[in-house]
A and B are shown apart, each in its own frame.
Chain A
């Protein structure tokens, strides 16, 4: 048994969650019901910008089944909190406007909530919405990221002149100016990173229940961050302290970041339940609502300048980005295009001079916040497009340019000379490890990179333009040292440690309770593998629990590819405490000194006397009954550990995309995709591959198909899956995955995190491939997504034909 157990870590173990997920017995938010449950529906603004003169709810109140109609004016709560201003407490001005639970005076985007109906059935609630009359005063709208800053643009907020949310800078301004002025070559390009709609499979929803007997609230919701929300919803929004609010995330069917945040509906269902004397109130958004009222991602306009020498050395990078934050700010919106973007722009390259300016703007669009990768895909897109533009300008192979500028393997730990990774309190994170060239070489070899000329000729004979693109990415994940990310540092108004509790019950069965919150990643499996390995017990004897603030230790939740670095290490620490106590108990039971006990798997033996041994199960039994324990030892095997990571982790790799473009129609087909990723050691390679597959496809989706389109009047034209193109399996080739393994020095497992890596890398690879395919026509850049009509028009223009 013991040997098998030792093999669990790093094995392709099938996921323990999947029995319930694939048999339809998972328990998601909408599967939960209670006696007396009521249903809430939200009336959303049909205008992108308007004042609310008045709201007449009388007809709605008279509708069948309606038990309450709620407007913003009656809700005595604060506007939602904004937890991550740009620049933290560095003194940078953030002109903050966040949503209220329901809008009171005005709306700033189509879909902002203005009133709510609670009824006996969901059907009655939706019907009654149509009976609410709002007297609107429509206002001029602005949806364009750049035009929002122009003189004369419609203004959204009094405290945000010119629609500016913040102006943030990082890096060495003077040095970068000099590098550009002195450079042999400077390449400049405007890049648009278009707005995306994340589309988790399960939409958001919540149930609020107030207990009038105890004056306590319970919130069930599809959330990535139950513990943090107890603070954000409870204290900051409603003024309710932690011990009066319990937050529970049931099974969560995907999130991609969208379920990190504090949404207005959380406090709304709690308010409604209290209003109804404690009847539970459920709200589940429609897919349409998910499109207009759950956060969007990306939406940058960037001007990049890359300076260098004709031999391929890059000497400077200057970036100016305008980041669209939407009509009001989501919970950590400003943190994404600043800390998580501006500070990682130089990627895996040694660039001596880097400077970035980021301006956040308000527009009459849905709020923008973290979407899979959150800032790092945008940064990777900028640096990887810049590398290709520079290579093109000096006539050098893009792979050779990358190789020349990679941080060498002896550069680590690497402290970016521009201070990019230094927080305002002086605390730093270091790029702790890396070996970039082997991953690049492996990817090039697998893709047959240097033999593609023949393939290009062959494609040309079929009327196709073949192109190849590289993306050598650096991810910053495993977030984050509290000192760096905390209140006095990067400004996320909180720490970022994690927690784990392990209890070994009387029969030797183990309950592991975690502060992290899965959304489909298979945490229950990977934590079980870790604890099985650490304590030498079969996986079947372990269960992992999470996601309920009553009964799980505080944790900051799961996002930023942090669970395997921070959460797993907490679990290992808790297991070490269990082992240590079990060792002392075994010594007592075996009448030996604790130092004479050696542990192998679940066996605790006296050194030199292998027959004198106790199993963990026997020890747990004895400690639970506790009638014969060492002097001063507390009964029971129950240990909690907290872990604050000393550094982030830095996955890297090179992805290669090969595309073919139909010259007659502009249709782009991704024909091959090779990914060589270094995510360090793996707890479960099958789960790692699944994460990479999904991430790569989402990134490809941005490059080729996805875009949120707003009309000038602020209506979301790509407002459903009929108009917003999500990737489909049949559109993709087999993804060819390979690896290098450079264990992270940051944690005992040597793991780095993989939830976002695919999405961070793949967009730029596909983009570079499309531009490469079009380059024989003299095209040097094209903004995403590469829809057939756009590519066709580009080809026609390049050929001098009509367009």
Chain B
């Protein structure tokens, strides 16, 4: 499988990368390449130019913010995340080993995953539940985007054409919180047919869902029901409220809808079990 021809640039600093990105039409950022390169090779996607940010070292690594939160460089691979303090979070410990295989986790990056915004990838649900903030930089400087505003549709995000996602900030969880991820995988691709990340604690629950709608979403109807004192089972019944549930050859709408409720309940129960 051979991609159509494209130009290629490999800057070593973030500023160079942003300039390269802003300098043409049909330019895409290449991070770990685990989603974009297969699409190019299948000629399902075409670009005029790739800006390979793999050598932009400043985008790599996990730092603890001191208040219990984490700042994760966009180029941090899944494998690096697994070995970082962030993997103490139950939801990350659950999800990371299920993503791809060893080779994919060695190359695939967290920033690449969410910037690509595959509606069935796991990470968006996790970051929604963790109430993360995304940092982006473009020709006009840096801005932060709440994760709830970030995913706009399938393969569509709030990033502007000239912006590079640089960092993901995960706030500290309130003391005594628990978190978990539960999913039913599409057997061929390993992507989520239904993926649910849940954070529970005294301040209430946060639930992120992927694979179900046209983009990952916060299950606010579930969170509100729990807030009103509903049981986990009762609340989970609201998992797809207001969502246009996807249907495909692997899983039709009825099944996906039913499983979203089942897996919301399972993720909430697991998270609650970890809450202290």
Contacts and interface: CB of A to CB of B under 8 A. Distances in A.
Interface string A712-730: 0000011011111110000
Interface of B is mostly: loop
Contact of A789 (B2, B42, B188, B250): B250
Nearest to A724: B188
> How many of chain B's residues touch chain A, expressed as a range?
10 to 19
B8 interface: no
A803 B254 contact: yes
A665 B188 contact: no
A286 interface: yes
B1 A722 contact: no
Contacts, number: 51
B258 interface: yes
A286 B259 contact: no
Contact of A788 (B1, B42, B184, B254): B184
B58 interface: no
B258 A725 contact: no
Contacts of A664: 262
Interface string A634-665: 00000000000000000000000000000011
B255 A793 contact: yes
A122 B2 contact: yes
A667 interface: yes
A709 B249 contact: yes
Contact of A726 (B5, B188, B252): B188
B4 interface: yes
Contacts of A803: 254
Interface string A767-803: 0000000000000000000011100110000000011
A667 B187 CA distance: 11
Contacts of B250: 723, 787, 789
A72 B179 CA distance: 61
Interface in A298-343: none
Interface of A is mostly: loop
Contact of A705 (B1, B184, B187, B255): B187
Contact of A665 (B184, B186, B189, B252): B184
A724 B250 CA distance: 10
A789 B251 contact: yes
A788 B249 CA distance: 13
Most buried by A among B184, B187, B262: B187
Interface string B236-260: 0000000000000111101100110
A127 interface: yes
B189 A723 contact: yes
Given A723-B189, A789-B252, A288 B5 contact: no
Given A664-B262, A666-B255, A725-B186, 6 more contacts: A126-B2, A665-B259, A705-B188, A724-B188, A789-B250, A792-B255
Enumerate the 6 nearest inter-chain pairs by beta-carbon distance, A residue then B residue, closest first: A725-B187, A725-B188, A789-B255, A722-B189, A286-B1, A126-B2
Interface of B: 1-2, 4-5, 42, 184, 186-189, 249-252, 254-255, 258-259, 262
18 contacts: A127-B4, A127-B5, A288-B1, A664-B262, A665-B184, A665-B262, A705-B187, A709-B249, A723-B189, A723-B249, A723-B250, A725-B187, A725-B188, A788-B184, A793-B254, A793-B255, A802-B254, A803-B254
Interface of A: 122-123, 126-127, 286-288, 664-667, 705, 709, 717-718, 720-726, 787-789, 792-793, 802-803
